[in-house]
Structure 1
Amino acid sequence: MASLKIKYRHSSIEGKAGTLFYQVIHKRIARQISSGYKIYPDEWDISNSQIIIPTGIEENRYRYLVSLEKYIKEDTLRLKDIMIKFDNFGYNYTADEVIEYYSTFPKNEYFICFSENLIGQLKQIGKIRTAETYTTTLNSFRRFMHSRKKGSDIPFDKIDSSLMMEYEQYLKFHDICPNSSSYYMRNLRAIYNRAVEKELVIQRYPFKYVYTGIDKTVKRAVSAKIIRQIRDLDLSHTPSLEYARDLFMFSFYTRGMSFVDMAYLKKSNLQNGFLSYCRKKTNQRLLIKWEKPMQEIIDKYDTSNTPYLLPIIKNILKDNTGQYKNAIRLMNTKLKTIGMLIGLPIPLTTYVARHAWASIARSKNVQISTISEAMGHDSESTTRIYLASLDTSIVDEANSLIIQTL
């Protein structure tokens, strides 16, 4: 393997700052590349190849030298990465090729470029949801990079813990909640780890100092009284509000079914008095006893021209994903209007139905395992374990009990 040294070259003019350069030695051949950094002789420790920060220097000079320490570390790590990569590939390289590779730095080894290519590949193999998740995260990271005014992309060797901590502070400054910040960090980490797998970068764990957990969210549940108010509102004069209310109630009746799962429900999912579907998020198969209020909502809307149970995806010839996204945006807008009509202190959204179902179930002394503690577990994996082990008849009894409460 090649070796790397940091050298100091004195200025030919006495009293002037000298220049730092990197020396790559491989197979007894040494090549040099200038760092572009200039320091004075008393600021460099020749024996230990490191910067000395003299005591009593002015603040600007102090900051400059501290910055140089960071830049030198980044440069040397980048050069070492290249040499390790060449060694791992079994490539019979020269010192000149290390320098050339360092100078040109292939574009596909830049983070945002790599991420965009990865998103394209995910779309090609049908992993649309993952591609959308990464796209949302990448857009946030792009805005952060733009705010730094240091270029639109960044090489992988610059993705370090300091940058991620800076990004976390950026998110906090823009009032992004901890769970959303963690969501972005986990997605960026997943992209970064893919690059590690492809040996584009050495794993340095840049996310070790930022939050990647899941906080308990602020409760968005409402009482059975509020659910009854929503159900009994006379919205016949405003069909768009009535439609949003009906879909909200359908979600509640089906144990807080997510909007995306509702959108893709097909008539074939309803057989022999039971609604069977597979959750998009977890790929888990769920079975729900069909109740009268569910049928009343279905009967209100004409879906004869589509295979879908609900009128969310209305045109099978158009993009389904686009129709679903437009529908949920419109529905949440209408639900907020409904919430204001009844004086609700929290924004009414599709997710409130899920919270409300769990909260009301608990108030009726339904066992925690029966409702899977959907809104109280520290991790979704624990929730899924509970859901997977439930006797569906118990769940159906619980659902009937909750509907009868209204």
Structure 2
Amino acid sequence: MTSIKLKLRMSSNCDEAGILYYQVIHDREVRLVSAGYRIFSCEWDRKHGRIVVSPVCSDIRSGELECIRENVRCGLDRMRDIADVLEASGMPYSAEDIVCRYNETAADVITVFGFIRRKAARLRRMGRNRTAGTYMEALSSLMKFRGYVDFRFNSFDADMIERYEAWMRMRRLCRNTTSFYMRILRTLYNQAVSEGLAREVNPFRNVYTGIDKTAKRAVTLQEIRRIKELDLSGEKGLEFARDIFLLSFCLRGMSFVDLAYLRKTDLSNGFVTYNRRKTGRQLTIRWERHMQLLLDKYNSPDTRYLLPIIVREDGTEERQYRNRMLLINRRLKKVAALAGVHMPLTLYVARHSWASIANAKNIPISVISGAMGHDSESTTQIYLASIQTNTIDEANQSILKDL
């Protein structure tokens, strides 16, 4: 008779997590196999030999425990399947045989969550942090849909993907957002197919993976002047958000990620030179008086960076700039209200506004494209697609006034 159970080896330090392992007993022979996870004693039901979720656990930890519970359940099922096969063979076998077969097949069983994490980690090692970040965003959304329960690629089918899309739409995510996650998952699924981990089918055939046209938003030069002239000296947070918006505009619509990673050494001899993190293209901008006036208001801390957006160089730089971007965008909504700008103001609006105003001044699209670091003029045309519509709307409004 074979006994296979999940056990927890407690740590001698009560503040440290213990090690989960499988105990295999056959004909009084005992073998132990690490499950690859650690949990705390309060997360373990010793009487029933199972993982429990404490009511005081955070949502993140609860999700992690659900994921661990599902993964170790899969491990137990696989080990018991191996024991059943050996028993049915009629040949003598030992606990060591069960463990050996389990270890031989362990590398072949890769879960979806684990696969995505592995791909994201590889991208980070290659310095492709932006793509790694999008992979982890997609993973976070998928984990929430799954209730943090991991699964294998043989369950990755069209029905599940359709339910996932419906789940996102019920949470009022727009089609472009759901499509964003679907396209990332499709890329990852295709990679799994190429590695022999998934079947060569198309589970995304019934969900939307296109890109809807969206209204591009820009403010006028007069509105930017009103934003610039606001007295925000008593609101340091709002003032900083406003100044970063203005600096982005002055720097030809420089994206926030490029602003955040600007180094002090990038500003030299009256020019700022940097490589766009999105495309790698190098841009050089003449440093003007407006830019210096904004920079003079802020003393950057002891880091290599020009602006106090990333203030610590401790491996959390990407998280710092993302958190600061969210905070600035929230504060820009208040800035817009104070300036009488009837449009949700974001850092992206600064970039689009520069392109729109340049276009209105009859600057050639080829020049605007080069100034913004676009790979082609067609990308710039997308930025400017709404300008003509806005002009027509204004003309129509003036006609209707005469009715």
Please indicate the TM-score interval, normalised by the length of the shorter structure: 0.5 to 0.7
Q: 1:235, 1:241 within 8 Å by CA — same for their partners in 2?
A: yes
> 2:259 & 2:324 partners in 1: Cα distance?
11
Letter of the aligned partner of 2:265 in structure 1? S
Q: 1:229, 1:342 within 8 Å by CA — same for their partners in 2?
A: yes
Which residue does the alignment assign to 2:376? 385
> 1:143 & 1:107 partners in 2: Cα distance?
25
Deviation at 1:159, TM superposition (A): 1.9
Name the stretch that deviates more: 237-246 or 295-304.
Answer: 295-304
> 1:105 & 1:139 partners in 2: Cα distance?
25
Task: Describe how 1:175-194 pairs up with structure 2 within 5 A.
Answer: 175-194=172-191
Question: TM (normalized to structure 2)?
Answer: 0.63
Which residue does the alignment assign to 1:114? 115
Instruction: Specify whether residues 388 and 156 from structure 1 end up closer, same or farther in structure 2 by C-alpha distance, changes over 3 A only.
Output: closer
One of 282, 285, 306 as aligned partner of 2:282: 285
> 1:318 & 1:185 partners in 2: Cα distance?
29
Question: TM (normalized to structure 1)?
Answer: 0.62
Task: Describe how 1:56-75 pairs up with structure 2 within 5 A.
Answer: none
Instruction: Specify whether residues 216 and 189 from structure 1 end up closer, same or farther in structure 2 by C-alpha distance, changes over 3 A only.
Output: same
Deviation at 1:209, TM superposition (A): 3.1
Query: RMSD in angstroms over aligned alpha carbons?
Result: 3.0
> 1:373 & 1:219 partners in 2: Cα distance?
20
Instruction: Specify whether residues 124 and 307 from structure 1 end up closer, same or farther in structure 2 by C-alpha distance, changes over 3 A only.
Output: closer
Which residue does the alignment assign to 1:330? 327
Name the stretch that deviates more: 130-139 or 115-124.
Answer: 115-124
Letter of the aligned partner of 1:224 in structure 2? L
Residues 161-197 of structure 1, C-alpha deviations (whole Å, 9 max, x = no match): 3332332222222211122111101111121122112
Q: 1:108, 1:114 within 8 Å by CA — same for their partners in 2?
A: no
Task: Describe how 1:290-369 pairs up with structure 2 within 5 A.
Answer: 290-303=287-300, 305-317=302-314, 319-369=316-366
Q: 2:179, 2:210 within 8 Å by CA — same for their partners in 1?
A: yes
Letter of the aligned partner of 1:131 in structure 2? A
Q: Percent identity?
A: 45
> 1:156 & 1:167 partners in 2: Cα distance?
15
Q: 2:329, 2:345 within 8 Å by CA — same for their partners in 1?
A: yes
Q: 1:358, 1:374 within 8 Å by CA — same for their partners in 2?
A: no
Structure whose alpha-carbon radius of gyration is higher: 1
Letter of the aligned partner of 1:156 in structure 2? F
Deviation at 1:336, TM superposition (A): 1.5
Q: Does residue 159 of the first structure (1) align with residue 150 of the second (2)?
A: no
> 2:261 & 2:241 partners in 1: Cα distance?
17
In structure 2, the residue corresponding to 1:109 is in which secondary structure?
A: coil
In structure 2, the residue corresponding to 1:384 is in which secondary structure?
A: coil
Unaligned runs of 5+ in 1: 1-99, 390-406
In structure 2, the residue corresponding to 1:277 is in which secondary structure?
A: strand
Task: Describe how 1:34-183 pairs up with structure 2 within 5 A.
Answer: 108-146=109-147, 152-183=149-180
Letter of the aligned partner of 2:273 in structure 1? S
> 1:212 & 1:314 partners in 2: Cα distance?
38
Letter of the aligned partner of 2:271 in structure 1? F
Q: How many residue pairs end up in the alignment?
A: 279
> 1:108 & 1:119 partners in 2: Cα distance?
19
Deviation at 1:228, TM superposition (A): 0.7
Instruction: Specify whether residues 118 and 327 from structure 1 end up closer, same or farther in structure 2 by C-alpha distance, changes over 3 A only.
Output: same
Q: 1:107, 1:113 within 8 Å by CA — same for their partners in 2?
A: no
Instruction: Specify whether residues 188 and 318 from structure 1 end up closer, same or farther in structure 2 by C-alpha distance, changes over 3 A only.
Output: closer
> 1:295 & 1:278 partners in 2: Cα distance?
20
Q: Does residue 241 of the first structure (1) align with residue 199 of the second (2)?
A: no
